[in-house]
Amino acid sequence: MAKKKLTYQAAGVDLDLYEQSLAGMLPLIKRTHTPRVLDGFGGFASLFNLDCNLRLFAKNYRHPVLVTCTDGVGTKLKIAGMMGKHDTVGIDLVAMSVNDALCTGGEPLMFLDYLALPKDDPPLIKDLIKGISDGCIEAECALVGGETAILPDFYQLGDYDMAGFCVGVVEREHIIDGRAVQVGDVVLGLASSGLHSNGYSLARKIVFEHAGLKIADHVPELGRTVGEELLTPTRIYVKAVQSVLAHYPIKKHVVRGLAHITGEGLPGNVPRVLPPGKRAFLKRGSWEMPPVYPWLQKLGDVEQAEMDKVFNCGIGFVMIVSPFYADSIKRQLCDSGTPTFVIGEVRAGDADVEWF
């Protein structure tokens, strides 16, 4: 008997399903495009017009500097799998990169994604791309391409991974790098929407292993289920912060430092934008603490220092600003729908965070 000829499908990759996935992506990608995206979809690379002469999309730069960022979603993807809900983790993917790009004072321009799965699954891929598309619209950047890798011997069924890549631009003279931070500057904390996409290995260990809770369990302290809380998308700060930056001439150095609060929390991220000889003093209790943090801390008997190091603890982004303009900036951010708090000040000392 002749042996059956082997095919790619027999090895675990179905090219017909792959074509279905591509077809489902197209409208979700197109909805993020402006006239600055020159090519369509499906080529080997994407073309983006940095200087567009259309009146509504005029972006004329004198000394443009490109900003690049990459990140993932981490083990929050496990929560999506447990919930069977995959249309929001793409928002997290976009947020983790565009919020980083924002820390330079830059404008996110375009985004690319990388999806890795054990087999092609058009409905799942469509959900993932929908979230990415939603995040790109919120961040006002174009989803210009990506890669879907089908790796049948690398991932277990039900698993997948995501990575994202953002390219932005900033005028050289408008770069915000923390060098202008001065003693007496005010530290503003922009509220997070929850855990964002950090600390999920600890959060999952506390909730599912230590406490033995289930994804659908209702938690009175949170007013919703475990899954609903842990799957809350990361807040995207682009519109709110860019609006403030546009309001104040950069030459006045009103906004002096920007920090995205991710892994390592406030103590690990704020010092990254402090110049030598400047220390951030942060006041506990100066912002509204989302209930998920005291709940996790009590549930897992976690020390405060560990909470500070692992989670954002309710502050997802920090702006270090001139004290003269601090109240006005805080008001603008709150009016834009981003709750903002005065959480500390800059004093002399080594570049670090100290609590008071």
pLDDT tens per residue across span 171-193 = 999 999 999 999 999 999 999 99
Q: For residues 309 and 43, what is the distance between their CA atoms, to the nearest angstrom?
A: 43
**Does position 59 have pLDDT exceeding 90, yes or no?**
no
Indicate the pLDDT class of residue 43, thresholds 50, 70 and 90.
confident
| Mean pLDDT of all residues belonging to the chain | 93
CATH of the domain at 118: 3.30.1330.10
Average pLDDT over residues 104-119: 96
Residues 139, 85 share a domain: yes
| Domain-ending residue, one of 174, 202, 230 | 174
Indicate the pLDDT class of residue 240, thresholds 50, 70 and 90.
very high
Residues 195, 326 share a domain: yes
Residues 249, 331 share a domain: yes
Tell me the torsion sign for CA atoms 340, 104, 175, 133: negative
Average pLDDT over residues 46-67: 76
Residues 6+ apart with CB under 8 A from 264: 309, 310
Packing angle of the helix pair 238-247, 326-335 (nearest 10 deg) = 140
CATH of the domain at 232: 3.90.650.10
Q: Is residue 2 part of a domain?
A: no
| Domain-ending residue, one of 148, 174, 200 | 174
Considering its fold, how many domains does the chain have in total? Answer: 2
| Domain-ending residue, one of 174, 202, 228 | 174
Q: Is residue 8 part of a domain?
A: no
The residue segments making up the domain with residue 73 are 15-174
| Predicted local confidence at residue 313, as pLDDT | 98
Q: Is residue 65 part of a domain?
A: yes
List the beta strands (DSSP E) in 127-277.
Answer: 142-150, 161-171, 186-191, 218-219, 224-225, 255-260
Angle subtended at Cα 167 by Cα 194 and Cα 25, rounded to the nearest 5 degrees: 75
| Predicted local confidence at residue 26, as pLDDT | 86
Residues 208, 145 share a domain: no
Q: For residues 63 and 271, what is the distance between their CA atoms, to the nearest angstrom?
A: 28
Tell me the torsion sign for CA atoms 197, 70, 159, 28: positive
**Does position 162 have pLDDT exceeding 90, yes or no?**
yes
Residues 154, 109 share a domain: yes
